[in-house]
A and B are shown apart, each in its own frame.
Chain A
Amino acid sequence: MWTVVMAQPLTLVLDVPETPGDQDPELSPYEESEVHDSFHQLIQEQSRWVAEEGLELQQVAGNLGALASGHQILLGAEGGPVYSTATLNILASMPSRTIGRSRGAIISQYYNRTVRMRRRSSRPPLGPVMCSARPSLRLYDLELDPAALQEEEKRSLLVKELQGLSAAQRDHMLRGMPLSLQEKRFLREKSRIPRGKQRGQQGCGRVFYCSRLRYTCALALHSLGLALLTRLHALKPWRYALKQIGGLFGSSVLSYFLFLKTLLAFNALLLLPLVAFLVAVQAAFPPEAHPVPRCTGLELLTGGGCFTHTVMYYGYYRNTMLNTPCSSPQCSPGAGSLPYNMPVAYLFTVGATFFITCITLVYSMSHSFGESYRVGSTKGVHAITVFCSWDYKVTQKWASRLQRDNIRTQLKELLAEWRLRRSPQSVCGRLRQVTVLALVWLLCLGVALGCAVAVLTFSEVTIQSPAAAGREAGLLVLPVVVCLLNLAAPYLFRGLATLEQHDSPVLEVYLAVCRNLILKMAILGVLCYHWLGRRVATLQDQCWEDFVGQELYRFLVMDFIFALLDSLFGELVWRLISERRLRRRKPEFDIARNVLDLIYGQTLTWLGVLFSPLLPAVQILRLLILFQVKKASLMANCQAPRRPWLASHMSTVFLTLLCFPAFLGAAIFLCYAVWQVKPSDTCGPFRSLDRMYEAGTVWKRHLEQGSPGAPWLSWLHWYLVENTFFLFLVSALLLAVIYLNIQVVKGQRKVICLLKEQIRNEGEDKIFLINRLHSVYERKERSRAGRAAEVATPALVPDAGDK
């Protein structure tokens, strides 16, 4: 008698091809769903089987141990895990891997996204949808559904959802989809509904209609804003020139020219209100005629001469009401009945333009900062170098070769730095480095201080020596001296900087920028003291505001001339010398120095706006000519900097430097001039007042007298301007908001670390599961083979028994 213990016949659904030639990376949705189903089923069967045949496990425990150890991660030659083909196929069809792979997957992902968007009760976001673009398993219920749909059905579902969106939203969705253009056009065509049906589909219910109306209005405004922006972009001055520069020299040099364009926009913004409210109005109602001297060519440089009594300077503006109906017969008839208070207009226009510039600057700075700063962005520098450093804009062969050389140098430097970090520097070496750094800093600060003292003594000399009114050229000496110092000192700084050795080229650039900035701010500070402190005192009976306005004009023009000369000699002649004599490469385009020159010029403009309302026009002219000259000089004489820059960080840094030392300093200068300095008695719109801001108080009193039922004005004036409690409150709130934001960023960093750890653990879990499944599968295979052999042998015995 024999008993055959036969196990239950197992129906194995999974049929994973083992041959390597069978790997089909482009699994269609049919196979995907099959694999999901069968995988799910396999796990259930195996766990059931393992639970039932628990005893068997103990018997073959010894074997299993050996098997399990044999199935640990086989390390391949490179040190990474090596999986069998079956495992690879399973891994490749895991839900998290199929997102974004096949067309069906993309379509279903976007279907889910539009469903979520429509289900939301509040207005969907109009801006770029940041987080929802990340593929997430939670949205993925369509693929895991056992009754998974075919691609056609998914597409029709998506089309139906798209039909429910508005046109702009649908376009926005379509543009962002990573599908081919043909597919997008098909989806768009299918999801367009004729006008009649559309009207019928909308609006059942009053409440629904109201929210739709509000949404439509907001969307219309948004599209209007977008249309305006695209028109402005389409104007795009210098589009071809910027493309050429970007193609030849890369993004870092391009950032200088883009910054120039930004400054042009700021100056245009500054000029428009000034021209509209001050220059045009005063030009329409000119004051009594002054004897105008003949125009020689010199006033283009000095700003005096025949420019003196024109709209260009503060002194021309009247301190009375313009356009008043007058009694004397000399008045021009047909004047309008709206009186225009010139002093108040002057004060408020200058204040308003500064305020608008401040808001625009802070907004663009924060926007640029948000784009360029990321939590944890300092890590992963190798990956970022490999994937994000090739600039696709570069189009010339030699520029492309230069870029390859740059990237190779960068990679070599990164590897060298990594090797160096493994063998840290000795204490002696580090100490030496620190001493050299401290010494160089001391020298640079000393040079800056020396320049400032030189400018101070020179300005005192110009006050002491009687500059006769006829000798106009004598007025140019101070600007020329300052420009020479501004030109020579950066070269000195660069020479001193070669003494110190830095590993990081970005640090070198930042240090150079800092030192140049300190020099320029020191010189400007001395000049401001000279104008508002000393000149006001010495020119008490004359028009000192005109003089200060003319000084600033002179400084702008001289700076411009020196910039042109520098381009000519610094770059052209240097290139000729270096090519003929020294046989070296072309000189590099020094981005830091050029940008600081631009910021310096803009600071001068802002300083001078109060005293010369047309100064932004001079600056615009300057910038236009400078663009062409710098571009020509760049193309002819220079090459791209050898050490590549982080262009996005640089533009944030430029804007920050423009905002903080430059604009802030100019605003402080303006506030001091308005609040503390006595305006001159003989010229200008504030000639009868003690301080410039009194024009505002006088007008307020005038308004109160005129209409006594306006106590809110004095209340407003008292609580907002005179009382300091309001300012304290606002500053305290601002500080609290900044502190909260810093804490939020710290928390985000911690969360990122934790999530990274979790992802790593999940990866290890996955490897463990694969190994266990392998071992289970192999054991099952072996036992099935064993049982097949057992079935084969007893089949013979009953035959013998029957006989």
Chain B
Amino acid sequence: MGSKQTVFTQEQLEAYQDCTFFTRKEIMRLFYRYQDLAPQLVPLDYTSCPAVKVPYELIGSMPELKDNPFRQRIAQVFSEDGDGHMTLDNFLDMFSVMSEMAPRDLKAYYAFKIYDFNDDDYICAWDLEQTVTRLTRGELSAEEVGLVCEKVLDEADGDHDGRLSLEDFQNMILRAPDFLSTFHIRI
């Protein structure tokens, strides 16, 4: 069904369909969005699985991401080497996790990695400060930022070791029914 396309082989398209939350049509649409970011770089034929990475600057200039204060972290988390340059697989993965059909735990896992700025698998006080500063455009005073971080650790840190682990984060997400609707990018 659908028009004949020459970008992917049938197996590739089926594999993408089975491993992401997108349908065939949506995958093609996403591919053309990816291709539009760097038309000279991205070939129109992916049957031979070319190793092409779109640099972060172009990814960060997408309309869905360009006004997001966490766009750099999002790109870093989903890219292969953690530097923000994404292949097509990374691109599809990113939008699949951020789509509305992804389950809560999958989103919570990636949200944890996004907010962990120093990549040490814990959200420590420094990570929290970074998050709050980016959220408020630096308009809260340092004292207020510190106060907010302290209260967050108070509320969410279950074993009181001074930082949030993945379990603490997931516990907190369970109590926030809005998470599924806010951690969602429409494309």
Contact = CB atoms under 8 A, between A and B. Distances in A.
Interface of A: 25, 78, 80-81, 91-92, 96-97, 99-101, 128, 133-135, 171, 174-178, 180-182, 184-185, 188-189, 230, 234, 243, 246-247, 251, 371-374, 376-377, 379-384, 386-397, 399-401, 404-405, 407-408, 411-412, 414-415, 418, 646-649, 756, 759-760, 762-764, 766-767
Interface stretch (B31-39, B40-48, B103-111): B103-111
A655 B174 CA distance: 23
30 contacts: A25-B119, A80-B162, A100-B166, A180-B89, A180-B90, A181-B92, A181-B93, A182-B89, A184-B19, A234-B25, A243-B186, A372-B177, A380-B155, A382-B154, A384-B172, A387-B115, A387-B169, A387-B172, A387-B173, A388-B183, A390-B182, A392-B98, A392-B185, A393-B186, A404-B135, A404-B139, A407-B136, A408-B140, A647-B178, A760-B160
A388 B179 contact: yes
Given A381-B155, A395-B64, 12 more contacts: A25-B120, A78-B162, A128-B103, A176-B103, A176-B105, A185-B15, A188-B18, A376-B175, A386-B131, A391-B181, A395-B63, A418-B151
Given A379-B155, A383-B155, A764-B160, A374 B173 contact: no
A387 B176 contact: yes
A389 B105 CA distance: 18
B175 A397 contact: no
Interface in B55-90: 63-64, 66-70, 80, 89-90
A415 B120 CA distance: 29
A383 B168 CA distance: 11
B125 A78 contact: yes
B105 A133 contact: yes
A647 B181 contact: yes
A386 B152 contact: yes
B182 A379 contact: no
B186 A246 contact: yes
Contact of A135 (B19, B136, B167, B181): B167
A230 B152 contact: no
Contact of B175 (A96, A134, A374, A407): A374
Contacts of B170: 134
B131 to A, nearest CB: 6
Contacts of B165: 97
Given A390-B70, A392-B185, A408-B139, A371 B177 contact: yes
Contact of B68 (A386, A389, A392, A763): A392
Contacts of A648: 177-178, 180-181
A440 B170 CA distance: 43
Nearest to B147: A415
A411 B136 contact: yes
A386 B182 CA distance: 12
B7 interface: no
A373 B177 CA distance: 7
A243 B29 CA distance: 16
B84 to A, nearest CB: 15
Contacts of A383: 151-152, 155-156, 172
A224 to B, nearest CB: 16
Given A648-B181, A766-B159, A388 B173 contact: yes
Given A386-B132, A391-B182, A400 B177 contact: no
Contacts of B89: 180-182, 185
Contacts of A97: 121, 165
B21 interface: yes
B117 to A, nearest CB: 13
Contacts of B180: 371, 648
A128 B21 CA distance: 14
A756 B119 contact: no
A759 B92 CA distance: 38
User: Chain B: interface residue count, which band?
Assistant: 35 or more
Given A25-B121, A383-B156, A404-B136, A234 B23 contact: yes
B54 interface: no
A171 B90 CA distance: 19
Contacts of B69: 390, 400, 404
Given A180-B89, A386-B152, A392-B68, A412 B140 contact: yes
A764 B158 CA distance: 11
B105 to A, nearest CB: 4
B148 A415 contact: yes
A384 B15 CA distance: 36
A80 B177 contact: no
B53 interface: no
Contacts of B175: 374, 376-377, 379-380, 384
A763 B105 contact: no
Contacts of A756: 158
B159 A762 contact: yes
Contact of B18 (A171, A393, A415, A766): A171
A542 to B, nearest CB: 53
A759 B154 CA distance: 14
Given A175-B21, A386-B132, A411 B140 contact: yes
B160 A415 contact: no
A386 to B, nearest CB: 5
A265 B7 CA distance: 37
B73 to A, nearest CB: 12
Contacts of B132: 386, 411
B20 to A, nearest CB: 7
B172 A180 contact: no
Contacts of B183: 388, 392
Contact of B178 (A379, A388, A396): A388
A377 B103 CA distance: 19
A415 B115 CA distance: 22
B178 A188 contact: no
Residue among B25, B110, B159 with the highest chain A CB neighbour number at 10 A: B159
A388 B48 CA distance: 40
Contact of B137 (A128, A395, A408): A408
A415 B163 CA distance: 21
A99 B121 CA distance: 11
Contacts of B158: 756, 759-760, 763
Given A181-B20, A251-B182, A646-B178, A382 B140 contact: no
Nearest to A649: B177
Given A387-B115, A404-B136, A763-B161, A80 B172 contact: no
A382 B23 contact: no
Given A175-B21, A374-B175, A377-B177, A382 B125 contact: no
Contact of B176 (A128, A388, A392, A400): A388
Contacts of B177: 371-374, 377, 648-649
Residue among A97, A387, A388, A763 with the highest chain B CB neighbour number at 10 A: A387
Contacts of B161: 80-81, 91, 763, 766-767
Residue among A393, A396, A405 with the highest chain B CB neighbour number at 10 A: A393
Contacts of B110: 178
Nearest to B158: A759
Nearest to A167: B18
Residue among A78, A394, A763 with the highest chain B CB neighbour number at 10 A: A78
A100 B19 contact: no
A373 B67 CA distance: 31
B183 to A, nearest CB: 6
Nearest to B71: A392
A556 to B, nearest CB: 32
A178 B171 CA distance: 17
B106 A415 contact: no
A246 B156 CA distance: 29
Nearest to A101: B121
B23 A230 contact: yes
Contacts of A100: 109, 166
A380 B19 CA distance: 34
Contact of A178 (B106, B140, B169): B106
Contacts of B80: 180, 182
Contacts of B119: 25
